[in-house]
Amino acid sequence: MRSIDTLLCALLGLAVSQSTSSTVQRIDLAERLTAGTLRVVNRQATRLPARSDAVHLSAGEQVGLAWVDGTDFGDGTIELDVRGKDVFQQSFVGIAFHGKNDTTYESVYIRPFNFRATDPARHQHAVQYMTVPEFDWPRLREQFPEEFENPVNTTLSPTDWVALRIVVRGPRVQVFVGRVANVTLEVRKLGTLDRGLVGLWVGNTSDGDFANLRITPAP
């Protein structure tokens, strides 16, 4: 009887695992760009010839976005590979989520030029969470110093592809930068947004590369 129970449990576990894994939405950004289902804001988007599933957002003034049409993310996990550059104040790349419109969303992004900075203040400011428009990074740094920013693992290269994973669970956001087991940044959510679009994000003066987007809603 015990062996039958064990077999039934194993089969049930497999079924649950398959059901959970089937909820992962894998988004080919290059295909979306070709199909016209990336809505680009204040940038130009092009395919990257060296990586078939990747897109590049051009540099420009102010923030740039590329919303993924049809996404409606609440709680769960967003994973993406991003690539910036090691140029001071000219590389800000990340993810926008819970997007309501082009100026109202939450965002997590990295500053690759600070990954290996020897200055302690710059080193601390390698990954950032914010909610715009009310909690942009200047207000957070002034009113909540160091709460919404952290350093990253110094083995990460500022010019390589970097895995970025964001886990949203109720009032908390966890961020993993690189293929690491331990959380890089964990913060309380700000504002009242709890659902909306997912998009690619680049900051003022920045361009960036993006690939391998996966969205997994919470069960």
Domain boundaries defined on the chain: 25-217
- What's the rounded mean pLDDT across residues 134-161? 97
- Give the separation between CA 97 and CA 113, rounded to whole angstroms: 23
State in Å, rounded, how far the first CA of the chain is from the last one. Answer: 32
Q: How confident is the model at residue 17 (pLDDT cuts 50, 70, 90)?
A: very low
Task: Please compute the mean of the pLDDT values over residues 32-37 and round it to a whole number.
Answer: 98
d(CA 199, CA 129): 15
pTM as predicted: 0.90
Report the alpha-carbon distance of residue 55 to residue 88 in Å, rounded.
Answer: 23
Selecting from 1.10.730.10, 3.30.70.3340, 2.40.40.20, 2.60.120.560, what CATH number does the domain 25-217 have? 2.60.120.560
Count Cα atoms within 13 angstroms, Cβ side, for 28: 8
Residues 69/213, Cβ–Cβ less than 8 Å: no
Distance CA 191, CA 137 (A): 14
Confidence of residue 23 (pLDDT cuts 50, 70, 90): very high
| Res. 144: pLDDT tops 60 | yes
11-15, 40-44, 106-110, 150-154: lowest mean pLDDT where?
11-15
